[in-house]
Chains A and B, each alone.
Chain A
Amino acid sequence: MTTVATKPSATQLEAREAPPERTRVLVVDDHPAIRAGLRELLADGADFHVVAAVSTAESGLAVAERDPVDVAVADYQLGGRTGLWLSRKLKRLPQPPAVLIYSAYADGLLAAAAVVAEADAIVSKGRLGADLCEAIRSVASGRRQLPLLPPRLGESVRCRLDPEQQAIFGLLLAGIAPAEAAATLGLSRPRLEAQLWEMLRRLEGPPG
């Protein structure tokens, strides 16, 4: 990270100019109209600063690696790697941002996958802009707001996972951090990471 600090980029300069109390937001959506809409909506709110609005998960990760953000607002479907892939990656950064999945399909299944990807909130694209702003403020202050898994769906999702993965899923669902979950289950960190990727693969819908 020291290398990053010695190479200030345009976006970093932009971030420095922003007053520190503003929430730095990264927008990731493959639809240009939505990127523009979010940028304008958040620009109106005095407490937000949009660091960048990009179209792919990879470029979103690149921005966040260069320049720490507070909240990433990402669509689930990004035409390639998903918003949940991005969430997993962002959560392993030295200063992990809060992740809000802004998706058209905010159903229970996505919520299950979001638990595994450690996303903090899911907001349906059918919600009003004001609700989205409220949700961004909420996750920025450290609160999570994932939709509850319907019990029967949770059961069915668990059937998809092997016993060790089920145990991990149960702990994550109970709000226990991955590091703590690994310690509880006696798993090595690499083993847990591998299992989390595998779980995400099993729970996610086909990308794109």
Chain B
Amino acid sequence: MTTLTERAAALAAADGHDRRRPEAPGRRRYVPLLHRVAGINAALVVVAVTVTILVLAPGKVSALALDEEVAVVLGAVALVVLANLYLLRRIVGPLQALTRFARAVDLDRLRDRMPGAQPTSEAGELALTFNEMLSRLESERRASTARVLRAQEDERLRIAQELHDQVGQDLTAVLLGLSRVASQAPDELRGDVGSVQDAVRGSLEEVRRIALELRPEALDDLGLANSLAVLAERFSHQLGLEVDFTIAPDLPSLPGETELVTYRVAQEALTNVARHSASTRATLRLERGDGSLILTVRDYGLGMPRDTVAGAGIRGMRERAALVGARLELGNALSGSGCEVRLEVPLFEERG
């Protein structure tokens, strides 16, 4: 489990800036291509002009050249060199732009593409190939994140079932046995048996809570809206967090993966509210946005300190959101106290 989580975390770190390659100002240890080609061309022009003068007008060499002649020759050479520089820059410029773009690519959001990539020049071809590589990287990233998350969900389900089918049932059987003991025990032992019963019941309650947390019950069957309602009810019931939920009617059905991500984000957000916010009230909204579905969970508690470091929970939410191309924003609520977590899930895939 830990290794899976770590791998998933490594795949998509919380902070986008971490994953950009730093601009290294002192890194360039070569003469740029533009300067090299321009220099060589300029040298060739100077040599060509000199040779031409020597061949065509050898008489003039021994004589002192007139100032005008020198000016014309130098001017012509300069013009040729500048024109050459301009033309070269047009060829090399796109390569430099591509280098800058490649450095700035955000590995968390592999959605940007190099603009103007057309197969009309070598540089364009290179940009096109680079874009294709980004697409491959993006789909590979998605596939591997999906695999990791799927493996994590399967593992959770297995543990939840094991807890429920094995530990929970065994504890229930113990409880039934204890009931018999209690009814037959001599009076002086009744109290002891009673406290053992209480302890077993406490454990059973705990096992059930963990199993429920691990497994988004009935998501496949009941759909997202009802599962969120059950989730909200459970937080109210078990943790005393009053969750006010508004779920828009007639929401479109989402792919299973997207529903799971939305459910997990809601679960994590509510867990964070219950653990950290010191708020006894939260609101959960699921509504339709412009071409998207928007989940909002907010509380009315302490809010997030400025220097909050993203923990495993927040990282997990981000990873999951990225998996389905959703946007996750979290921070202090714009009005009033408390935090807000907002997940925007696109309803139609932009690509592929």
Contacts and interface: CB of A to CB of B under 8 A. Distances in A.
B179 A130 contact: yes
Nearest to A38: B176
Main SS of the interface on chain B? helix
Interface in A148-172: 150, 152-153, 156-157, 159-160
A157 B177 contact: no
B233 A33 contact: no
A56 to B, nearest CB: 15
Nearest to B179: A129
Interface stretch (A7-15, A90-98, A101-109): A101-109
A80 interface: no
Contacts of B170: 33
Interface string A38-78: 10110010000000000000000000000000000000010
B62 to A, nearest CB: 103
Contact of A44 (B183, B221, B225, B249): B183
Q: How large is the interface on A (under 10, 10 to 19, 20 to 34, 35 or more residues)?
A: 20 to 34
Contacts of A19: none
A204 interface: yes
A41 B180 CA distance: 6
B180 A40 contact: yes
Contact of B179 (A36, A41, A156, A202): A41
Given A128-B197, A152-B245, A160-B223, A109 B230 contact: yes
A31 B220 CA distance: 25
Contacts of A104: 164, 168-169, 172, 208
B254 interface: no
B140 interface: no
Contacts of B173: 31, 33-34, 36-37
A24 to B, nearest CB: 19
A89 interface: no
B234 A37 contact: no
Contacts of B212: 105
Contacts of A37: 172-173, 175-177
Contacts of B218: 109, 204-206
Contact of B175 (A31, A109, A128): A128
A137 interface: no
A174 to B, nearest CB: 21
B208 A156 contact: no
Nearest to A130: B179
Interface residues of B, number: 39
Contacts of B247: 156
B217 A205 contact: yes
B205 A31 contact: no
A105 B208 contact: yes
A144 interface: no
B46 interface: no
Given A37-B173, A108-B233, A156 B205 contact: no
Nearest to A125: B172
A126 interface: yes
Given A31-B165, A107-B234, A156 B229 contact: yes
Contacts of B178: 129
Given A104-B208, A128-B197, A152-B233, A204 B226 contact: no
Contacts of B182: 129-130
Interface string B165-193: 10011101101111110111000000000
B225 A126 contact: no
B201 interface: yes
Interface in A173-208: 202-206
Nearest to B176: A37
17 contacts: A31-B173, A37-B176, A38-B176, A104-B168, A104-B169, A105-B217, A125-B172, A125-B204, A126-B172, A129-B175, A132-B176, A152-B233, A152-B245, A157-B229, A204-B218, A205-B221, A206-B218
Given A130-B183, A159-B226, A204-B218, 18 more contacts: A31-B165, A31-B169, A33-B169, A34-B173, A38-B176, A108-B230, A109-B218, A125-B175, A125-B204, A129-B175, A130-B179, A152-B229, A153-B233, A156-B225, A156-B230, A159-B249, A160-B222, A206-B220
Closest 10 CB pairs of A and B: A129-B179, A37-B176, A33-B173, A156-B229, A205-B218, A31-B169, A125-B172, A37-B173, A126-B204, A41-B176
Interface of A: 31, 33-34, 36-38, 40-41, 44, 77, 104-105, 107-109, 125-126, 128-130, 132, 150, 152-153, 156-157, 159-160, 202-206
